[in-house]
Structure 1
Amino acid sequence: MTTPGRRPAQQKRSRDTERKILAAARQALAEGGWEGLAVARVAAKAGVSVGSVYDRFTDKDGLVHAIQHDMLDEVDAALRAAFAELGARPGTPAGQLIADAAGTLVLQAVRHGPVMGPLILRATADASLRERGNATSALAEELFTTLILTRADQLTCIRPDVAVPMAFRALFSTVMWQVIFGPGAGQHYLIPEDTQRQELITLCQNYLLPVGNRPEAEGSGS
């Protein structure tokens, strides 16, 4: 897929330099947000000249789009692989499957959150960033919903086709809020991050499953 503002690297040496620049840019974005993503700072972190950055990216926005596309390509691939593995375990009870699926989603947010947060905020003013981010969100919902609906006969909700994506959205929205604003933002009652994650998984289980079929969430998604 063509990324706006990115000049394709043809030679191996050029591709290697591009990877160094993108790794440095991710680090700068995670450490300092949008203001921290100065081209000069990225070049210094990557050990290249400012001109080398502009040889590969038209401007700062082009660099941001490349960061997002590469990161979300990684997330998409990781989600597809993880949910394929979960789907290959037909004997897993619904409660454990919900815990494992939810844990998988949380794990990606934890791994990529420091970079995701600034990108999501930037996407409010950039339709291209928003479109690419929405594609990954839709993929995550599709994978989660399709997997959990394979256990529809074990669920107690009246409309599993509606309830399962709603469970995903409750989980996803809470996790993304924390990614964007930080784990303690907007909270009156402070709950440790690990406890919050486990309670989110339990929330999904309680919404979808009968009492007595809700395993502990601890260790899910690792």
Structure 2
Amino acid sequence: MPAKQARSRATRDALVGAGRKLCEIKSFDDLSVAEIAAAAQCSVGSFYSRFADKDGFFRALINDVVDRDSAFMHSPLDCAEHLSTEEILADAIATTLKAYRKRRGLIRAAIRRSMTDPTVWEPFRLHGQAIADRLVARLLPRFPNDPDIERRTRFACQMLYGTLNNAVLIAPGPIQLDDDTFEPELRRVFHQITIGSGASDRPPDDKRD
């Protein structure tokens, strides 16, 4: 239900913000409407005057966090001309893992719901695709003689998101999402799949000694 006035919009934003923060500490499926409204310091009636139901709120929340995470994750890749290849890959891993750790409650609920309604996952899928597109755009000019760099980069992204989704959903181990070794292991495997161990980690025009 679109907000018609500034005050109504502020209340709606407060509800979405409360849901976003609550999902940092628990799964969305474990939240009640009353809990969300209380965290936003408004009434349950205010919630239902802006969202048809909890499912409508869930989709609004997904769109909100994807928009936020898109701005957070795209910027480093859009300004990567002077970074080494190793730095670009490391930053992509670090920002993705940080987002998953922060959004795990929402991502877990989205994965479960997508089993019966694939449209729920669509914003996350498009977001991951956009990240892969930007990463490919940064790597292609650095390896002009490698015809498989795009395919390997996209597969590395597929591996990354698959591993993170699995860690959020069922935590199979042996390395868990919050373990200190998770990020360096992801970075090592991503680097190996994408460019291997023999590729240079400097941009083509790097003039450093």
Query: Matches of residues 179-194 of structure 1 in structure 2 within 5 Å?
Result: 179-181=168-170, 185-188=171-174, 193-194=179-180
1:152 and 2:143 are equivalent in the alignment: yes
Report how many residues are paired. Answer: 201
Residue 110 (structure 1) aligned to one of 101, 112, 131: 101
SS of the equivalent of 1:18 reads helix
The residue that corresponds to 1:33 in the other structure is 27
In the alignment, which of 96, 104, 109 is matched to residue 87 of structure 2? 96
1:81 paired residue number: 75
The one-letter amino acid paired with 2:187 is I
Q: Can you give the 5+ residue segments of structure 1 that lack an aligned partner in the other structure?
A: 1-6, 216-222
Deviation at 1:56, TM superposition (A): 0.1
Bigger drift between 73-82 and 206-215 goes to 206-215
Tell me which residue corresponds to 1:175.
Answer: 164
Deviation at 1:44, TM superposition (A): 1.8
Q: Which residue of 2 aligns with 1:54?
A: 48
Using the TM superposition, give the Cα deviation of residue 180 of structure 1 relative to its aligned residue in structure 2, in angstroms: 2.7
Q: 1:149 and 1:108 mapped to 2: Cα distance? A: 26
Q: d(CA) in 1 for partners of 2:155 and 2:118?
A: 25
Shift of 1:138: 1.4
SS of residue matched to 2:128: helix
Contact 1:9–1:56 under 8 Å retained in 2: yes
Question: Cα–Cα, structure 1 residues 31 and 93, in superposed 2: closer, same or farther, change >3 Å?
Answer: closer
Q: Give CA deviations for 1:38-71 in whole Å, capped at 9, x if unaligned.
A: 1122112222111100000001111111111111
| Cα distance in structure 2, aligned partners of 1:192 and 1:62 | 30
Change (3 A) 1:75 1:190: closer
Q: Which amino acid aligns with 2:106?
A: V
Counterpart of 1:15 in structure 2 is 9
TM-score by length of 2: 0.83
Deviation at 1:190, TM superposition (A): 6.9
The answer to whether 1:210 aligns with 2:197 is yes
Provide the residue aligned with 2:207 in structure 1: none
Question: Any idea what SS the aligned residue of 2:46 has?
Answer: helix
Deviations 1:18-47, CA, capped at 9 Å, x for gaps: 111112223344444244221122112222
Which runs of 5 or more structure 2 residues have no equivalent in the other structure? 203-209
Q: 1:115 to 1:73 in 2, by over 3 A?
A: same
- Please give the per-residue CA displacement for 1:74-120, whole angstroms capped at 9, x wherever unaligned: 1122222221122x32xx33233322233232232233233322222
Q: Structure 2 CA distance, aligned partners of 1:143 and 1:116?
A: 22
Distance, in Å, in 2 between the alignment partners of 1:106 and 1:16 is: 30
2:150 alignment counterpart: 161
CA distance in 1, matches of 2:55, 2:175: 38
Whether contact under 8 Å (1:20, 1:46) holds in the other structure is yes
| 2:184 matches 1:198 | yes
Q: Distance in 2 between matches of 1:191 and 1:35?
A: 20
Q: Percent identity?
A: 24
Cα distance 1:146–1:180, how it changes in 2: closer, same or farther (>3 A)? farther
Does residue 142 of structure 1 match 2:136? Answer: no
Larger displacement relative to structure 2 (170-179 or 63-72)? 170-179
